[in-house]
Structure 1
Amino acid sequence: MSTVCMSAEQPNGSELSRADFHSGVVAAALSVAGSTVLAPGEAQAASGRGPSNTGSGSRVNKDPQSLLRQGLPINCKPVFDLQEAIDSVKYDTYRKDWSRALNDCKQAGGIVSKKRKDLLAAVRPTEKAKGEQLLQTILDKLTPLEAILKSKEGTGTVAERIKLDDAYAAQEEVADAVGSLQELMVPADYVKELEANIPSEFDKLPRLLGRATVEFVLEKPTKGDKFDVEGTLYDQAKLVMVIDGYNAPITAGCFLDLVQKGFYKGLAITRSDGFVVQTGDPDPEGTKHGYEDRIVPLEIFVSGDKYPMYSLTTEDDSRGYASTILPFQAYGALGMARTEFEADSASSQFFWLLFESDLTPAGKNLLDGRYTEFGYTVKNAELLKDVKEGDIIVSTKVLQGAENFKKSK
């Protein structure tokens, strides 16, 4: 049995369970009681990034694509206002609040029209033409979305179901265009500064200076067995994940390196308990639980900071209250496993978090600030519901972003 902190057994013999994770709600509330702290939203604003990734009230942002867009290292309030309006379309569509969703859509169009100059000013000089095209694409795609939202369908009818599907699809197209626009706003020299901030003792480690998309395909160990997700059967679980080197360049780089080497192919799932799904242990019954002698440092990117910090939890850094740029608040969020009492002890094992917003309010758990969050599952995360111990990773590949990978400094 592995001794990583996110394995079934801790080094001290205790289990980090779902109950422990949720108990962080009380622990976090008690730890900040009576003190003056920087609110998550204020911290996010101070960094020049998007609105706070933590939820307020009953609304929690658990959309991985939205969280990734908010986590980009850019400073342009109009584009984040635009994103918030488009995200609200999805939220209000889910609630079937059609009038509010329509207002959100119109607000988005108004931002593009009125703030066009400011939006273009934030785009890198070499990408102005693409920026112009994307702004027009956003306006063009808002038109059919608005038409869908305006249509009148009876509540509970098949036509309303079709309207919901069409609205989600149209909203996703607009959101993708907004995301592409935001990526053009990342400063040209940011990745150089990001790499320069990495401590020299990690110079020999791989790094990802940007983002990459990977696909893992899992199968049941017994031929013919299928994944059963709420009555729908699947031969394979095809998981598409965005790996974020802006948030954790060394972790993301080491992970991508192992994907490219084929390290994860053939490995089994070693933990699946309704809290996390974990893999990456090449010898679960032996003594070698990571990749060769590689040690991956802890990387935590706190809201309000310009770059990630290394080898410290937020609690170690006397900022236990602080929110993080990419929080553990989406189903299928990716985290690196490590030993409990050593910050720099990760290697190859990682986990998918099975986040439940009703049980774990955003920003109030025991993972944010303690474990490296390095990406999200952006397609088919729901298939993780029936991924069990013993299931096998049959293939892994990099879909895009390999050009952002470096073997070392």
Structure 2
Amino acid sequence: MSTIISCNTYSSLAASKLNNPSLPSEGSSFLRTPKSCSFWNRQFLPKCSSHKHVHCQLQNEQQKKRSFSLKECAISVSLAVGLITGIPSLDWSPMAYAANPALSDLSVLISGPPIKDPGALLRYALPIDNKAIREVQKPLEDITESLKVAGVKGLDSVERNVKQASRSLKQGKSSIISGLAESKKDHGVELLGKLEVGMEELEQIVEDRNRDAVAPKQKELLQYVGGVEEDMVDGFPFEVPEEYRSMPLLKGRAAVDMKVKVQDNPNLEECVFHIVLDGYNAPVTAGNFVDLVQRRFYDGMEIQRADGFVVQTGDPEGPAEGFIDPSTEKSRTIPLEIMVDGEKSPFYGETLEELGLYKAQTKLPFNAFGTMAMARDEFEDNSASSQVFWLLKESELTPSNANILDGRYAVFGYVTENEDFLADLKVGDVIESIQVVSGLDNLVNPSYKIAG
């Protein structure tokens, strides 16, 4: 008899994220669709993470642990550095990553540990520049690493993190408040008050040596921090190029819940994945997806690719390889859209390699397990339509700007809850529904309202 527990509870039982670094053998097609060998994006399936009240039906109480060995790390390095080992191409170009000057020096790959937490990636991707709030954020995030240390030493390290965050909050509070957008100031101040109270509660938790209570409180505080940072964004930060301005655009952020019915899986029967979509850095890509979600385009669609490296979906039945707009009876495609650190707006229509930006840092990197991106034709940058995929791998020795995906495919969101369960999905599992749960008011030019 299957046991019913929340997805979050089940996730906490897992000792580590599910990773499957194995890739298809040489000569095999990588991320291709059944209709076209050149579309790797057509076969990935979306995964969603649920809110704390959404339940997953599970048959096992423990998740299988998967290790990422040194040998496998070396394989990842070799893929990123030379791509000369016959790795399967993402059918959409990543594997044709021949000589890249940015990858000539191995030190590029090991310059520092990459940020792998989707929540942290989303916080750092916000278009803000407020040092005071970042100085609160960083030590709170560092608690995760501190908790990896066993016993008393780990809690001692957590205590230092908490004291540093608390001190930064007290010293920088006025700078944080001054950085809030005027229209959002009241809400931001309210969140700061909750953050202050929560910080005191976390200090007491550490003083009581209640190790199990640290991580849940940390998550709560970082949600407050993220909320404050979002309240610092005043309007939309740039103008989308005129040729794309009439497309559905997500001018801000939105969140969706994706409910998946799992078939023939002893570990999982049903789960809801929560995905945060980032229109600040990918307004065209995220807007296109939200518009399709509102059209119920993905509801009832099967997972079309699940190979241990990615999960993909979005290839409709029939000859079309993307979304056919009923109002025009033509395929709707969107441009490749890549936002880079230091730039005020995204680059459109070209990969960073084609632009010569080999060492550029993308604002939405392929660092996290459950990174969500658009698939496209290998030889056509602006051919994405409806096929999306989720990466089933974290960056280890291949951080941002030193892997085979960043700058080649448009990332537009991250699975933030229940991402571990993505690895349990199989081809044929059904997306029962995807629903926008917040941020729909940030969608402009919604074509679904015109076409019905």
Change (3 A) 1:129 1:200: closer
CA distance in 2 between counterparts of 1:280 and 1:353 reads 15
| Cα offset, 1:34, TM superposition | 7.9
CA distance in 1 between counterparts of 2:413 and 2:430 reads 21
* C-alpha distance after superposition, 1:215-273 (max 9, x if no partner): 1111134xxx4461xxxxx3212111001101100110000001111000011111111
Change (3 A) 1:23 1:350: farther
Q: Say which of 113, 134, 140 aligns to 2:197.
A: 140
Q: How many residues end up aligned between the 2 structures?
A: 363
Amino acid at match of 2:204: A
**Which structure has the higher relative contact order (CA within 8 Å, separation 6+)?**
2
CA contact (8 A) 1:7 1:278 kept: no
* Alignment correspondent of 1:129: 186
Q: Say which of 380, 399, 403 aligns to 1:365.
A: 403
Q: Say which of 393, 413, 417 aligns to 1:355.
A: 393
Change (3 A) 1:164 1:290: farther
Change (3 A) 1:249 1:6: farther
CA contact (8 A) 1:210 1:404 kept: yes
Q: Say which of 101, 121, 134 aligns to 1:31.
A: 101
* Alignment correspondent of 1:199: 241
CA distance in 2 between counterparts of 1:33 and 1:66 reads 25
* Alignment correspondent of 2:373: 335
| Cα offset, 1:99, TM superposition | 1.4
The answer as to 2:312 corresponding to 1:278 is yes
CA contact (8 A) 1:88 1:104 kept: yes
Change (3 A) 1:316 1:146: same
Change (3 A) 1:20 1:297: farther
* C-alpha distance after superposition, 1:173-207 (max 9, x if no partner): 1101111110110123xx1x52x2x2222233100
The answer as to 2:221 corresponding to 1:167 is no
CA RMSD of aligned residues (A): 2.9
Change (3 A) 1:371 1:14: closer
Query: Aligned ranges for residues 366-381 of structure 1 at < 5 Å?
Result: 366-381=404-419
| Cα offset, 1:21, TM superposition | 7.0
* Alignment correspondent of 2:323: 291
Change (3 A) 1:202 1:164: same
Change (3 A) 1:375 1:219: same
| Cα offset, 1:101, TM superposition | 1.4
Change (3 A) 1:34 1:169: closer
Q: Say which of 121, 136, 142 aligns to 1:67.
A: 121
CA distance in 2 between counterparts of 1:357 and 1:128 reads 36
Change (3 A) 1:34 1:385: closer
CA distance in 1 between counterparts of 2:343 and 2:257 reads 31
> What TM-score do you get using the length of structure 2 for normalisation?
0.74
Q: Say which of 388, 394, 398 aligns to 2:426.
A: 388
Amino acid at match of 1:324: T
The answer as to 2:273 corresponding to 1:239 is yes
The answer as to 2:383 corresponding to 1:345 is yes
The answer as to 2:144 corresponding to 1:90 is yes
* C-alpha distance after superposition, 1:26-45 (max 9, x if no partner): 1499613789xxx99xxxxx
* Alignment correspondent of 1:209: 251
* Alignment correspondent of 2:223: 176
Give the gaps of 5 or more residues in structure 1.
Answer: 41-53, 153-162, 229-233
> What TM-score do you get using the length of structure 1 for normalisation?
0.82
Query: Aligned ranges for residues 47-126 of structure 1 at < 5 Å?
Result: 56-57=111-112, 59-96=113-150, 97-126=154-183
What is the DSSP-based 3-state SS (H/G/I as helix, E as strand, rest coil) of the residue aligned with 2:170?
Answer: helix
Change (3 A) 1:392 1:22: farther
CA distance in 2 between counterparts of 1:241 and 1:14 reads 24
CA distance in 2 between counterparts of 1:89 and 1:200 reads 44
| Cα offset, 1:121, TM superposition | 1.0
Give the gaps of 5 or more residues in structure 2.
Answer: 1-28, 42-71, 83-96, 325-330, 448-452
What is the DSSP-based 3-state SS (H/G/I as helix, E as strand, rest coil) of the residue aligned with 1:235?
Answer: strand
* Alignment correspondent of 1:149: 206
| Cα offset, 1:318, TM superposition | 0.9
Between the two proteins, what is the percent identity of the paired residues?
37
CA distance in 2 between counterparts of 1:314 and 1:265 reads 33
Change (3 A) 1:213 1:326: same
CA contact (8 A) 1:295 1:346 kept: yes
* C-alpha distance after superposition, 1:255-295 (max 9, x if no partner): 00011110000111111111000000012xx4211000100
CA contact (8 A) 1:268 1:392 kept: yes
Amino acid at match of 1:326: L
CA distance in 2 between counterparts of 1:333 and 1:185 reads 25
CA distance in 2 between counterparts of 1:34 and 1:277 reads 30
